[in-house]
Amino acid sequence: MVRQLTKIFTLMALLIFTSLALTSIAQAAPRLNELQYLKTYNTEVDGKEVYRIEVGLKRENINYTVKIPTTISSIMVVDFENTVPGRLSQHNSSKISLAEDTTASVKEVKVNYSRLQLRLPFVINEDSYKIYIEKKPYRLIIDIDKSALVNVEEETSDDNFNYKSGSIVIDAGHGGSDSGAIGPSGVTEKEVTLAVALKVQQLLQNAGANVVMTRTTDRDVSWAGSSNGQELQARVDKTPPGAAVFVSIHCNAFSNSITQGMETYYYWGSSEGKILATLLNEELANFGGRFNRGVKGANFYVLKHTSIPASLVELAFITNPEEEYLLANDDYQQQLALAITRAIKRYLEINPNGNLND
Ligand SMILES: [Zn+2]
């Protein structure tokens, strides 16, 4: 009896082992798809004018997911499973220009996993496109409904405003010997804050404002090896007499990578700082659609030691992989910069000279 049972168990174990082994072989060698070409053109579908993006594929079977980073975005990301960039591989990480100002970049993010990022000349949302596979040749089709589009140029052109106010101080958090927080794929806070700050500077200067930057390159504002207080005081000291506002740009970080969202800070008890932080929060929330963690009072050095209305913004969590990806994205940075610029504009419309007695 015992012998027979042992035999049965041995047989069962063998069967289970064989099926597991077969499954793992099947998983180990998927048939890879390949991205073959990219095309864009205008066409008509069911009487509607569409802007079509065509991605040539080697095979029919493909799993893909589409992401639009925010509720109003000109960026579309398509992630392909078990797919290599194929003939598009010579364009790895570089931009391909397509029709109508569309650019694409193709990246093999991991082995057998490719990402196609499209930057479109208009803002899209989840209702403005259809995506499907066509045969002969196999291709992924993205049809964007032209009637549902907002032009990016129109979207950004309302930022011309006249300043009679004092200088605007923009502080790119961290820099030089201090990387700030670092994301899971290695993006540093100091590079994101500098990129966004430089875009804000450009937008404000284009609009006629006088902008003072605490730094415009990857450097310590004081000196490498200075104490935290010395470094932060060096930033505060950049504020010229009669400056109107001080905005410090940072990315958030937390040990749990799920934690996400944007928040803005003011110095406890500063009513003008609170208004500035509230406007920054509103504009960043309007643009981003990311989780809004709110407007908060805090005791941060640069808020406490500036004598003018000041706010510190935490754009998003660099420790959250999705937000790290957005923070490193040039177009997303531009949208963040536009939101910050709009908020400063609104603040200065209420209070053109800041409030020095605050
Ligand atoms: Zn920081």
Q: 10-19 pLDDT, tens per residue?
A: 666 655 555 5
37 and 104 co-located in one domain: yes
pLDDT, position 218:
96
pLDDT, position 199:
96
In this structure, what CATH number is given to the domain that contains residue 182? 3.40.630.40
The environment of the single-atom ion ligand 1, i.e. residues with CB closer than 5 A, is: 173, 180, 250
186 and 129 co-located in one domain: no
174 and 126 co-located in one domain: no
| Percent of the chain predicted with pLDDT > 90 | 47
Confidence band of 151 (pLDDT split at 50, 70, 90)? low
* Residues comprising the chain, all counted: 358
- What separation in Å is there between the alpha carbon of 189 and the centre of ligand 1? 7
195 and 326 co-located in one domain: yes
- What separation in Å is there between the alpha carbon of 250 and the centre of ligand 1? 4
Domain range enclosing 63: 33-151
- What separation in Å is there between the alpha carbon of 72 and the centre of ligand 1? 26
Reply yes or no on whether the pLDDT at 161 is more than 60. Answer: no
pLDDT, position 102:
81
Span 23-35, average pLDDT:
66
pLDDT, position 177:
94
pLDDT, position 242:
86
167 and 290 co-located in one domain: yes
What value does the mean pLDDT of the chain take? 83
- What separation in Å is there between the alpha carbon of 54 and the centre of ligand 1? 41
Q: Work out how many domains the chain is built from and give that number.
A: 2
Span 31-42, average pLDDT:
87
